[in-house]
Amino acid sequence: MPNLKEVRNRITSVNSTKQITSAMKMVSAAKLRRAQDAVVQMRPYAEKLQEILSNVSASLDLSEGVFSAPREVKNVLIVAITSNRGLCGAFNNNVLKNVNKLIADDYKGKNVKVLGLGKKSFEFYGRTGQHVSTPGLSEKPYEIFDKLTFQNASNIAQVIMDEYLAFNFDEVVLVYNSFKNAASQIIKTEQFLPMVPAEGNSTSNVDYIFEPTKEEIISGLLPKSLKLQLFKGLLDSFAAEHGARMTAMHKATDNASELLKNLKLSYNKARQAAITNEILEIVGGAEALKN
């Protein structure tokens, strides 16, 4: 039978943990709402920009562009987007596993570097010596999540594009959690550079008037589209993080409630057994005095 004091201490400890997880769940729910609104508001613009880019580039050979020309892949950069904090279930581990799988399978034998946008991936690949270090990047690139704006995302995207144009990397890939709903996140692996040619252009009958030339418009749209692609990945990951944390904290709170129920039952049984033993001792002593 467990000691009553030990059970009481465990009940106090689990109850404190339950209050913390419940509070974290509510905080994540509030942050998730704002992050979800940001993703939903940005998607129509991203989709329209991609539609215009597809229509305008229908008559151009994008394989000759600086951001879309195919290369022999020798040096690869993987942008691993994770969170800065834990307590969000398998959110970060899923990204790290996918990145490691890419390195071991798809890019086996190639020179692979990882850019960790998120403290968890930054520290993990920093320990393995695979984290990329470039002059244009901050020493702590994961701090972008402290103030997630399009301008900050554009700065990082510009550094990546500059490294690509300098032939330091032949291919750039994004790996992140895409937000589906509060309880579900989908791991996505997207090719960032070189840009994949748009599909389905023949279905569009939109007639545009170009000013200046079509080529100049394309050269301006491609960098903007790349910056938007990175910003979208960051927003998706940010919303997915809070969804994952809210779900994890909800499960933790439920588990704490179940554990409290079992501990209180054990406490009551131990307490009842102690009372029964005391009664038996009293009765036994009374009988002995009587005899």
Which one of the listed residues 14, 88, 114, 226 is annotated catalytic?
Answer: 88
- pLDDT level of residue 249 (50, 70, 90 thresholds): very high
Whether residue 95 sits in one domain with residue 130: yes
pLDDT digits (tens, 9 = 90+) for 149-185: 999 999 999 999 999 999 999 999 999 998 888 788 8
Dist CA 125 CA 113 (whole Å): 9
Q: Could you tell me how many residues make up the chain? A: 291
Quick one: 124 and 173 in the same domain?
Answer: yes
- Regarding whether 112 and 14 lie in a shared domain, the answer is no
Q: Please indicate whether residue 277 or residue 62 has the higher confidence score (pLDDT).
A: 277
Q: What is the pLDDT of residue 62?
A: 58
For residues 66-77, give the mean pLDDT.
86
Find the domain containing 173 and state its range: 26-246
* CATH number of domain containing 255: 1.10.287
Verify that 184 and 281 share a domain, yes or no.
no
88 part of the active site: yes
Structural domain tally of the chain? 2
Confidence of residue 65 (pLDDT cuts 50, 70, 90): low
At 40-59, the pLDDT tens digits run 888 788 777 777 776 666 55
> Averaged over 255-269, what is the pLDDT?
90
Residue 187 is part of a domain; what is its CATH number? 3.40.1380.10
Number of other residues whose CB lies within 10 A of the CB of residue 27 = 14
Exposure b/e, 239-263, CB count within 10 A at least 16 = b: bbbbbbbbbbbbebbeebeebbeeb
What value does the mean pLDDT take over residues 5-34? 90
pLDDT of res. 276:
87
User: Are 235 and 284 members of one domain?
Assistant: no
pLDDT at 36: 87
Listed residues 215, 231, 246: the one ending a domain: 246
For residues 175 and 226, state if they share a domain: yes
- Asked whether residue 170 falls in the same domain as residue 275, the answer is no
Residue 56 shares a structural domain with residue 195: yes
Residue 258 and residue 242 share a domain: no
Give the model's confidence band at 208: pLDDT under 50 very low, under 70 low, under 90 confident, else very high. Answer: low
pLDDT (tens digit per residue) in 93-134: 999 999 999 999 999 889 999 999 999 999 999 888 888 877
Has this prediction a pTM greater than 0.95? no
